[in-house]
Each structure stands twice: as structure tokens, then as C-alpha cells.
Amino acid sequence: MIATGEDAVGAIPAQMFNDLAYMTSSVPVRVLAGTHDLVVNNHLHGAKLPHLMPAASIEWLDGLGHMLHHFAPEAVACAVEELARLPS
């Protein structure tokens, strides 16, 4: 728990720095978030990306948790395929 707490202390300043970088990015991003994710607070992290990045979107996967690539591999593959079809 100590290491986790130490990691959390540095997370907020790092996230503020990342937010500034996100605002200047034009890379297309697709966030997949489980509505029952107990590991990451997606309302705090993933949900804000579409507001910070012009080319970002979020898709909420109802009833799913953190390991979406295990429990919704079709949704993950579809998101990757959609991004791959975009012009570069």
C-alpha cells in the first residue's frame, strides 16, 4: 500500500502536465471505458479526454470493468479497426 500511495502523490501533477499536452494533440483517440471499472476512475480520467483532445471520443461499455480486452475483445478490435481506417 505504501508504494501505491507514493505513486498516487505524483499522479496529480503528472496528469496536469499531460492535460496540457493533450490539448495540442491531433492524434485520433478512442477511449473504451467499463462502467464498472474499479481500478481506474474513468469519469476522472478517460471521460475528460474528448473535452481536451479534438480527435478523441469515449465509448462506455455497460456492466464491464477494467480488463476490457479480456471481456469485450470485439469492442476493442472494432475500435482499433475504426482508427486504422482513418486517413493518416
How far apart CA 76 and CA 68 sit, in angstroms, is 7
- The four Cα atoms 12, 17, 21, 27 give a dihedral, to 10 degrees, of -30
Q: What is the pLDDT of residues 25-49, one digit of tens each?
A: 889 999 999 999 999 899 888 899 9
When pLDDT is cut at 50, 70 and 90, the band that residue 9 belongs to is: low
φ, ψ dihedrals at 4, nearest 5°: -65, -45
Residue ranges per domain, the chain?
Answer: 2-85
Please state the CATH superfamily assignment of the domain spanning residues 2-85 in this structure. Answer: Alpha/Beta hydrolase fold, catalytic domain (3.40.50.1820)
pLDDT of residue 86: 94
Quick one: average pLDDT of 76-85? 97
The percent of residues above 70 in pLDDT, for the chain, comes to: 84
Does the pLDDT at position 12 exceed 90? Answer: no
Which residues lie across from 55 on neighbouring strands? none
